[in-house]
């Protein structure tokens, strides 16, 4: 029903740039059964309409402000739900309405909610209010983290965390020093020294939780069959605005339906569960509770920088580099926002709290490309570093964006090169300058070392495209998921085969298929070893020196490459029958496992009465190869190879160097070493007339960072940095 214009509430302009609005949410006058009844009233019970009033207050007021700040997600919803504001109609989103019902008590409650307290129709007001959000959340009595409506799984998960939290609190009270040492350790291990009686209580509760998981999901052992996934899959954990809202508040409370849990208890409990699973003495696997912990580390690292006392010991000395804008923006790149400018503006107050104040002003009148370019330029100039350029490894969708500016609006889940472990330009320092307007030229110093000659036609599917691995109750959706999974498996196998053939062709003894003879000339390694090292970025798994793949994992490569080409070897190959027999045995083993049957044969399993679809699955070569890899002695190496090559491409240069990088790479692109950068950059020669060239009219566009085997430790960097050229980047 449409409302007359006279009955719609209109925000009054704020009287001062330092003023904000506070909501007074009127209490309910009827006796409510519980919070749950307010969220889901009985069929014969109409909830009392929501009524609010807005009061203007000054952040500079001498009187203490008393309000709670809501952190929730808009989800791109249309404001089509009516509430009453000063007796007039105000339209809010469904999520906002749900939160107001859930937070309403019997008495008036003072809240700050961005969608209500900021006039969303006024760009000018948004430009002045957004920079104040650091103070707004910093001065609130509590941040209310609204996760949405409750489900059976969310209720069970939060109760589980509350139970473990009670044990944690008791342990911390009895031995605070021991707890802090365990809480701040960088990894689990046998030195956890949790008293046996305490560990028994924890394990007893975990056992009950796992059994309940199995009852609800019908399976166990995967993140999707853990009730904690109901909490961590909520959109709140994927949104950019929620980071700042949580980080800037001193206290936070998780609210999901009628369930509540203090954020501090939430974190400390997840820390304990993660440490136990990472412990060498634990029999748990990382597909249980610990797999969710990395999502919390983003928030905790930033909270540790903004409020050091809240996370004493949680942030290591190595993580101090995370205070840099480039590190924060890269870390938060996967999070989303409905307005692409908010990928930066949503962190404006957070940067201010970290002492980073020389930022471009918030201005929603500016186009996205100009906002991104201004922040990129400000970041590099402020840090006197080119670290931001390492984020240039995703597809670009913002029109008019300079190639030296990351496109924060798009993201692909690819493994980032551990740049801390390499020194492709020795100990050189960054040498750069900007010329022209904010979207102008970036001048770098460097040297072109190679031209890409071969770039395979196939790319590896990115992580997250295996949607068919889940179980869906709808038969048609199950079939579509399975078809997608098989298609991805086929693409995966064919891509790796094409890469291996190309790598083999670069050895001194070439072959059209995989073989172990021949050498990779740049490093004088056998081609299989060089190929493996290229895919795995030299076996590096993290920024610390000890983070390398163990020899027993690397040794699985021979099984992996043999299985990969099981059906591609000539019939007269003496090893073919042995490999095919090994594949057949591994497939039989896989088919006997309930987890495999549940995913691939959900309608009756394998047997005489198996459906036609089951026969298609079993006879798909790529499926048999992947089953053999996972159950035939190559599972660990396959996981590492997929992790580091998903969404990437392989390439070979004219001089025979092998490398991996973004799927944006083309044949003809250049491999360039840039002063001050630890890994090579891929560039594209351009000209103002639209073609490539090397004349005065030419320039370069940045494509992505890359791993190039044989140049990562300064092998191709000129002695004393002599002979560097100016590289004009647009």
- Percent of residues in the chain assigned helix, strand, coil, to nearest 5: 45, 15, 40
Q: How many CA atoms lie within 13 A of 724 on its CB side?
A: 24
Q: Check whether residue 479 and residue 600 sit in a common domain.
A: yes
Distance between CA atoms of 637 and 634, rounded to whole angstroms? 6
Place of tokens 């083309």: 666
CA angle 251, 253, 254 (to 5 degrees): 145
Q: Check whether residue 615 and residue 627 sit in a common domain.
A: yes
Distance of CA 494 to the CA centre of its chain: 27
Distance of CA 331 to the CA centre of its chain: 8
Q: Is residue 216 part of a domain?
A: no
Pairing of strands 51-58, 81-85: parallel
CA angle 617, 499, 465 (to 5 degrees): 45
Distance of CA 650 to the CA centre of its chain: 23
Pairing of strands 681-687, 648-653: unpaired
Distance between CA atoms of 392 and 444, rounded to whole angstroms? 16
Q: Check whether residue 481 and residue 629 sit in a common domain.
A: yes
Q: Check whether residue 491 and residue 567 sit in a common domain.
A: yes
Distance between CA atoms of 464 and 485, rounded to whole angstroms? 11
564-611 residue pLDDT tens? 999 988 888 888 888 999 999 999 998 888 777 777 776 554 444 455
Q: Check whether residue 23 and residue 138 sit in a common domain.
A: yes
Q: Is residue 155 part of a domain?
A: no
Which of 475, 457, 513 shows the shortest CA–CA distance to 651? 457
Distance between CA atoms of 171 and 447, rounded to whole angstroms? 58
Q: What is the dihedral of CA 354, 357, 358, 360, to 10 degrees?
A: 110
Which residue, 88, 121, 148, sits at the end of a domain? Answer: 148
Average pLDDT per run of 10 along the chain, which is 730 residues long?
69 96 88 46 67 96 93 88 95 95 94 96 95 94 96 94 89 72 51 76 89 76 76 93 94 94 92 74 50 81 78 48 83 92 95 89 96 96 96 90 95 86 96 85 97 92 50 43 84 95 76 57 91 96 88 94 92 87 91 77 52 76 92 90 93 96 96 98 82 67 98 94 93
Please report the pLDDT score of residue 433 as a whole number: 96
Collapse the DSSP code of 725 into the 3-class scheme (helix H, G, I; strand E, B; otherwise coil) and give the result.
strand
User: What are the beta bridge partners of residue 533?
Assistant: none
138-169 residue pLDDT tens? 999 999 999 999 999 999 999 999 999 998 88
Distance between CA atoms of 19 and 16, rounded to whole angstroms? 5
Q: Is residue 691 part of a domain?
A: yes
Q: Is residue 438 part of a domain?
A: yes
Q: Check whether residue 573 and residue 721 sit in a common domain.
A: no
State the SS3 of 103-144: HCCCCCEEEECHHHHCCCCCHHHHHHHHHHHHHHHHHCCEEE
Q: Check whether residue 471 and residue 392 sit in a common domain.
A: no
Q: Is residue 233 part of a domain?
A: no
Please report the pLDDT score of residue 696 as a whole number: 59
Distance between CA atoms of 221 and 443, rounded to whole angstroms? 52
Which pair of tokens denotes residue 137? 């959340």
DSSP state of 597: H
Q: Is residue 369 part of a domain?
A: yes
Which of 91, 225, 93 shows the shortest CA–CA distance to 153? 225
Distance between CA atoms of 684 and 451, rounded to whole angstroms? 10
Q: Check whether residue 585 and residue 653 sit in a common domain.
A: no
Instruction: Supply the range of the domain harboring residue 439.
Output: 432-458+647-729
Contact, 705 vs 393, CB < 8 A?
Answer: yes
- Record the pTM: 0.86
Please report the pLDDT score of residue 711 as a whole number: 98
472-485 residue pLDDT tens? 334 444 455 777 88
Q: Check whether residue 454 and residue 487 sit in a common domain.
A: no
Contact, 711 vs 680, CB < 8 A?
Answer: yes
Give the total number of structural domains in the chain.
Answer: 4
Contact, 277 vs 290, CB < 8 A?
Answer: yes
Distance between CA atoms of 278 and 290, rounded to whole angstroms? 8
What values do phi and psi take at 391, rounded to 5?
-85, 0
Q: Check whether residue 345 and residue 449 sit in a common domain.
A: no
Q: Is residue 523 part of a domain?
A: yes
User: What are the beta bridge partners of residue 451?
Assistant: 670
Which of 146, 138, 119, 341 shows the shortest CA–CA distance to 231? 146
Q: Check whether residue 611 and residue 701 sit in a common domain.
A: no
Which of 372, 339, 512, 450 shows the shortest CA–CA distance to 711? 450
**What sign does the CA torsion over 90, 93, 94, 99 have?**
negative
Contact, 367 vs 358, CB < 8 A?
Answer: no
Please report the pLDDT score of residue 36 as a whole number: 45
Contact, 498 vs 486, CB < 8 A?
Answer: no
Place of tokens 């930066």: 344
CA angle 178, 184, 187 (to 5 degrees): 105
Distance between CA atoms of 107 and 167, rounded to whole angstroms? 34
Q: Is residue 189 part of a domain?
A: no
């Amino acid at each position: 029903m449409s409302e007359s214009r006279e009955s719609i509430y209109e925000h009054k302009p704020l009287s001062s740039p330092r003023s904000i609005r506070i909501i007074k949410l009127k209490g309910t006058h009827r006796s409510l059964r519980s919070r749950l009844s307010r969220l889901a009233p009985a069929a014969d019970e109409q909830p009392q309409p929501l009524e609010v009033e807005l009061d203007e207050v000054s952040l500079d007021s001498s009187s203490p402000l008393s309000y709670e700040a809501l952190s929730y997600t808009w989800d791109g919803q249309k404001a089509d739900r009516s509430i009453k504001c000063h007796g007039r109609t105000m339209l809010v989103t469904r999520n906002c309405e749900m939160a107001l019902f859930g937070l309403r008590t019997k008495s008036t409650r003072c809240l700050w909610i961005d969608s209500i307290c900021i006039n969303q129709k006024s760009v000018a007001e948004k430009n002045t209010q957004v920079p104040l959000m650091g103070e707004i959340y910093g001065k609130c009595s509590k941040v209310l983290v609204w996760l949405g409506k409750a489900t059976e799984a969310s209720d069970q998960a939060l109760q589980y965390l509350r139970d473990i939290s009670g044990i944690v609190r008791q342990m911390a009270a009895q031995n605070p020093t021991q707890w802090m040492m365990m809480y701040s350790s960088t990894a689990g291990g046998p030195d956890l020294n949790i008293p046996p009686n305490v560990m028994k209580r924890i394990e007893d509760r975990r056992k009950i939780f796992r059994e309940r998981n199995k009852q609800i999901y019908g399976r166990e052992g995967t993140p999707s069959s853990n009730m904690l996934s109901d909490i961590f899959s909520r959109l709140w954990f994927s949104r950019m605005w929620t980071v700042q809202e949580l980080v800037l508040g001193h206290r936070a409370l998780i609210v999901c339906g009628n369930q509540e849990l203090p954020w501090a208890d939430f974190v400390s409990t997840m820390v304990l569960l993660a440490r136990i699973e990472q412990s060498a003495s634990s029999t748990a696997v990382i597909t249980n509770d610990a797999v969710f912990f990395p999502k919390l580390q983003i928030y905790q690292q930033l909270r540790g920088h903004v409020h050091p006392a809240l996370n004493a010991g949680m942030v290591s000395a190595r993580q101090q580099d995370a205070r840099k804008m480039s590190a924060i923006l890269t870390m938060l790149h996967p999070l989303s926002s409905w307005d692409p400018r908010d990928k930066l503006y949503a962190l404006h107050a957070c940067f201010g709290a970290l002492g980073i104040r020389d930022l471009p002003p918030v201005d929603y009148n500016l186009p996205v490309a100009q906002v991104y370019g201004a922040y990129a330029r400000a970041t590099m100039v402020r840090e006197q570093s080119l670290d931001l350029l390492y984020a240039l490894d995703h597809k670009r969708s913002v029109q008019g964006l300079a190639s030296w500016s990351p496109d924060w609006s798009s993201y692909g889940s690819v493994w980032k090169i551990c740049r801390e472990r390499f020194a492709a330009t020795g100990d050189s320092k960054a040498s750069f300058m900007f010329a022209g307007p904010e979207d102008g030229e970036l001048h770098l110093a460097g040297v072109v070392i190679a031209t890409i000659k071969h770039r395979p036609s196939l790319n590896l599917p990115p992580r997250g495209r295996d949607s068919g691995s889940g179980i869906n109750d709808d038969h048609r959706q199950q079939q579509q998921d399975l078809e997608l999974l098989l298609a991805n498996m086929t693409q995966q196998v064919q891509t790796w085969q094409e890469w291996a053939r190309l790598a083999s062709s670069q050895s001194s003894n070439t072959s059209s298929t995989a073989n172990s003879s021949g050498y990779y000339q740049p490093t004088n390694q056998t081609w299989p070893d060089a190929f493996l090292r290229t895919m795995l970025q030299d076996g590096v798994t993290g920024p610390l020196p000890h983070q390398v793949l163990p020899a027993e994992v690397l040794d699985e490569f021979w099984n992996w490459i043999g299985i990969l080409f099981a059906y591609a070897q000539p019939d007269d190959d003496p090893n073919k029958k042995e490999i095919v027999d090994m594949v057949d045995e591994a497939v039989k083993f896989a088919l006997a496992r309930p987890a495999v049957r549940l995913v691939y044969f959900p309608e009756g399993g394998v047997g005489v009465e198996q459906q036609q679809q089951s026969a298609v699955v079993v006879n798909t070569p790529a499926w048999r190869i992947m089953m053999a890899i996972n159950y035939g002695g190559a599972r660990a190496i396959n996981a590492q190879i997929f992790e580091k090559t998903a969404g990437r491409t392989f390439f070979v240069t004219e001089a025979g160097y092998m490398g991996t990088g973004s799927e944006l790479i083309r044949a003809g692109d250049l491999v360039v070493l840039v002063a001050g950068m630890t890994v090579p950059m891929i560039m594209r020669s351009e000209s103002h007339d639209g073609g490539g060239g090397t004349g005065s009219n030419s320039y370069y566009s940045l494509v992505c960072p890359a791993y190039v085997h044989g140049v990562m430790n300064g092998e191709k960097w000129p002695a004393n940095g002599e002979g560097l050229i100016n590289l004009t980047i647009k």
